[in-house]
Structure 1
Amino acid sequence: MGTSPATQPSPKGPKVNPPVPKCSTKCLNQTSTLSSSSSSCSSSTDATLDEDLLNISFGSSSTVTTTTTSTTDIKCSTSSSTAAAEDGGSAWRCPPLAMSDLRFLRRLGSGDIGSVYLVEMKVSGAVFAAKVMDKRELVRRNKVGRARTEKEILEAVSHPFLPRLHAAIESGRWSCLVTEFCPGGDLHVLRQLQPAKRFDEAAARFYAAEVVVALEYVHMLGIVYRDLKPENVLVRSDGHIMLTDFDLSLRCDAPTSATFLLSDSSSGPKFGPDPRRFPATSCILPGCIVPAVSCFHPMRRWKKRSTKKSVPDVVAEPADVRSMSFVGTHEYLAPEIISGDGHGSAVDWWTLGIFVFELLYGVTPFRGADHESTLANIVARALEVPTGDAAGSVSNAAREFIAALLVKEPEKRLGSTLGAAAVKRHPFFDGVNWALLRCATPPYVPPTPSASRAADMAAKDSSSDSNVPYF
């Protein structure tokens, strides 16, 4: 769900139009409800919303910025609860948020199944991003399953680098997902502002590390993201990232993640008996079923303790999630998706390689003259790394990292077996403190203007005479 304040047309072209993915129909969490000025607000008609959406106007195309919004801005007023208690009624509950409770300021961008708007709560003035989808268009274009998948995933996830779903609003015609607004834009726009339109290696490492952690989390939930690209990585007000737009993600009903601990075999304490000393069948006591050591030989061979402390890694990859769908953005498609052989979580590590390549070099590695030549290059052409001035100051570790991710055979690709645990161990990430990644200093923090300036910008947008088409 793109919430970038300044969206530029991407040279990569539109997403591939996929069939409806198999999605879970079970709601994992109840969606948050927000306060409104009165209970009558929740009975708004679609006609009012139509007027709100169709009358959204633009000022200039400059980037919209605003003050940081805390979650306390959207909670219910305690005065209403007190009043209900005085009446002797039951515990007062917030009425569900209605579309009429939102003031649509401007459109931030549009995607395949809807458009994203900057909205303001009429009661508190807090701003959010709202992805609005036309239900009739979803039915006509057979996209209902994709919209349902995105909603269910946003309800299920809770992670600092993923969106927080504040509310899901349903009306007769519209479906709306309200999430955090990211004033820093997306990495595609931010890259265009860099010298030579590419990030330095330190910045690319920072953004790649946070993306790896986000992918690790969704893989733990049995979700394959399938749409990683700079346009879908947003910059929050604190400079950290938010991975967005989950309508192409693959998610299964049953848990499919294979989770286990991985320790470094060359370090760490190793305790326990040596099973080679005593045969497992040497015990003859009644009720004793194949013990690890002989009951008559209590001697144990203990291996020497190591002075090094071993920090185990959690490996959680959705090993059984497979799909035959042809989905994604052309320049980021993995070879197994193009060939139609079926794909799993390894496609996310392929797209990570394309993502890092683009951040460092300013282009994608397999781009052709058109979509078909791009797909042919992905399947058949070997990876070519720019040289000379185009290469910049990219280190050998970065080039090797990209090459390990862009292996065409998914079973040989970095991360395909051990997931993020293997990716994190690559020398490209040397020096990254994964435990304190959220505390690292971002390479870019968007400016935070005063509240009055944000209000003036919103007023300027709403006073314009131009209308915004929805689709």
Structure 2
Amino acid sequence: MAGAKSSKKLAGSPLLGKYELGKLLGRGTFAKVYHARSLDGGDDPVAIKVLDKSQLTSTGMITRVLHEVSAMRRLRHPNVLRLHEVLATRTKIYLVMELAPGGDLLTRLASLPSRRLPEHAARRVFLQLANALSYCHARGVSHRDVKPQNVLIDSQGQLKVSDFGLAALLPDSLRDDGRLHTACGTPAFTAPEVLRRKAYDGAKADAWSCGVILFALLAGSLPFDDANIPGMCRRAQRREYAVPAWVSRPARRLIARLLDPNPDTRLAVGDLPDHPWFKRSLSVDSQLGGLIAGQPERDLAFAAAPHALNAFDIISMSPGLDLSGMFGESRRVREKRFMTTATLEETVERLGRAGDRLGYFLVGKKGVERLPIGGVQGIVAMSMEVSEVSRELMLVELRLESGDGDEAQAFGWDDLRVELGDVVMAWHVCEDG
């Protein structure tokens, strides 16, 4: 009863003079989620997750909240749930997020008579999921709990990947062997190497989870679902699953490539565009419709041109979204941002020349086009992302993609600023916990 009274007290009340909380949308062990609207006249409603600081501290869930915020700070993609801002009082933390009123993918599938989708509709849904995870992996985020419950649907029928509480942020989460070691996730969707508590690649583990979801979309059931986790793991290792006869051969082959128990030969999410199942014309699919309606498919490849930013995008980059200071977490400078009126080509060329002197190599958005430029010991790569603020103004984000804390702290950001010269209009510090 106390929880119900607390929910009624919060609903309808103003939050820090910024939001009016509406009805309770859902609750978990450590959080309640409310429908809310901005008091500044914004038209779009939001979802606000309310967390109790004392509960987080006493249960050790602080790390999970920090991971969720840190991961979502890195991500701005149409198929990833957006974190708008973080607010806090003495006792509560409020995560203001994009609202996805269509529920989750599991509930939507369960509402269908066959609990599955026709193949053309499954392709459209899966394309959006793969698009989101490809972007996450390119930004150094492995989700590690990909399942239909964590795939939400917005008012336009678009998929939104959510719940990054178990996400691994690279390179900080890697051990000395360059791998992840924490066993986490939901067993029926978790890769066998993770269940067996072996060192693993987070992106390849996400690819396995995608294979399970694709199987569920097409078959209406899970390939491996057993309360006996060791037994389920053995079945996964032996590929003991049966694809229904109605699933096409290209889709069967794709499932087999994703549900490969060997992560070294498993198909990566970023390689999905090359598979024949995706090479079939999607224009036919878009005419047929499906579960997620009315949205054109996006190419899985990342565009070389800068993407446009709106005011909310820029605000969401604020260091105010970093919660580490609330809990006394250590902070290391791994990112810098600057504004420039130089062209993309000029900016890349200047960064390349700076690397000759300072020692780093630049990794492009796809993680393949590298400019080998010297090498400071331990610093493997720096990534660059460019966003268009206006026709003549761009925001450039630089991030150290590997190197331990001492190496990141010692990196010569001031020297880089000098080397870039007049390319830089305004230099902004961004610290990462």
Give the TM-score, by structure 1 length: 0.55
| Alpha-carbon offset, residue 182 of structure 1 | 1.3
| Alpha-carbon offset, residue 187 of structure 1 | 0.9
Match of 1:120 among 18, 30, 37: 37
| Alpha-carbon offset, residue 362 of structure 1 | 1.6
Contact 1:237–1:445 under 8 Å retained in 2: no
| Alpha-carbon offset, residue 116 of structure 1 | 2.1
Look up the SS of the partner of 1:115 in the other structure: strand
Aligned counterparts of 2:288 and 2:160: Cα–Cα separation in 1 = 15
More helix by share: 2
Aligned counterparts of 2:235 and 2:219: Cα–Cα separation in 1 = 17
Give the TM-score, by structure 2 length: 0.59
1:237 is the counterpart of 2:139: no
Look up the SS of the partner of 1:197 in the other structure: coil
Q: How many residues matched?
A: 287
Aligned counterparts of 2:103 and 2:110: Cα–Cα separation in 1 = 11
- Cα gap change, 1:98/1:115 in structure 2, threshold over 3 Å: closer, same or farther? closer
Match of 1:159 among 41, 57, 77: 77
- State the AA in 1 paired with 2:61: K
Aligned counterparts of 1:359 and 1:411: Cα–Cα separation in 2 = 25
| Alpha-carbon offset, residue 138 of structure 1 | 1.2
Aligned counterparts of 1:197 and 1:327: Cα–Cα separation in 2 = 27
| Alpha-carbon offset, residue 108 of structure 1 | 2.2
- State the AA in 2 paired with 1:178: V
Aligned counterparts of 2:141 and 2:108: Cα–Cα separation in 1 = 28
Match of 2:205 among 347, 351, 372: 347
Residue of structure 2 in register with 1:331 after alignment: 188
- State the AA in 1 paired with 2:254: F
Contact 2:192–2:233 under 8 Å retained in 1: no
| Alpha-carbon offset, residue 107 of structure 1 | 2.6
- Aligned pairs (5 A) from 1:357-376: 357-368=215-226, 370-372=227-229, 375-376=232-233
| Alpha-carbon offset, residue 323 of structure 1 | 1.4
1:190 is the counterpart of 2:43: no
Aligned counterparts of 1:141 and 1:53: Cα–Cα separation in 2 = 21
- State the AA in 2 paired with 1:383: E
Look up the SS of the partner of 1:245 in the other structure: coil
- State the AA in 1 paired with 2:141: I
Residue of structure 2 in register with 1:18 after alignment: none
Contact 2:120–2:288 under 8 Å retained in 1: no
Aligned counterparts of 2:48 and 2:212: Cα–Cα separation in 1 = 29
Aligned counterparts of 1:371 and 1:54: Cα–Cα separation in 2 = 41
Contact 1:115–1:131 under 8 Å retained in 2: yes
- Aligned pairs (5 A) from 1:215-230: 215-230=133-148
- Cα gap change, 1:246/1:321 in structure 2, threshold over 3 Å: closer, same or farther? farther
Q: Deviations over 1:401-420 (max 9, x none)?
A: 111110111111111xxx51
1:181 is the counterpart of 2:99: yes
Contact 1:240–1:442 under 8 Å retained in 2: no
1:427 is the counterpart of 2:280: no
Structure (1 or 2) with the larger CA radius of gyration: 1
1:444 is the counterpart of 2:362: no
- Cα gap change, 1:152/1:177 in structure 2, threshold over 3 Å: closer, same or farther? same
Aligned counterparts of 2:237 and 2:208: Cα–Cα separation in 1 = 15
- Cα gap change, 1:213/1:126 in structure 2, threshold over 3 Å: closer, same or farther? closer
Contact 1:366–1:377 under 8 Å retained in 2: no
- Cα gap change, 1:233/1:438 in structure 2, threshold over 3 Å: closer, same or farther? farther
Residue of structure 1 in register with 2:240 after alignment: 383
Match of 1:401 among 240, 245, 254: 254
Aligned counterparts of 2:94 and 2:276: Cα–Cα separation in 1 = 43
Contact 1:201–1:360 under 8 Å retained in 2: yes
1:147 is the counterpart of 2:4: no
Unaligned runs of 5+ in 2: 295-433
Residue of structure 1 in register with 2:341 after alignment: none
- State the AA in 1 paired with 2:275: H
- Cα gap change, 1:322/1:116 in structure 2, threshold over 3 Å: closer, same or farther? farther
Contact 2:239–2:261 under 8 Å retained in 1: no
Contact 1:56–1:106 under 8 Å retained in 2: no
Aligned counterparts of 1:334 and 1:372: Cα–Cα separation in 2 = 12
C-alpha root-mean-square deviation of aligned residues, in Å?
3.3
| Alpha-carbon offset, residue 442 of structure 1 | 6.4
- Cα gap change, 1:230/1:50 in structure 2, threshold over 3 Å: closer, same or farther? closer
| Alpha-carbon offset, residue 445 of structure 1 | 4.2
Residue of structure 2 in register with 1:107 after alignment: 24
Residue of structure 2 in register with 1:81 after alignment: none
More strand by share: 2
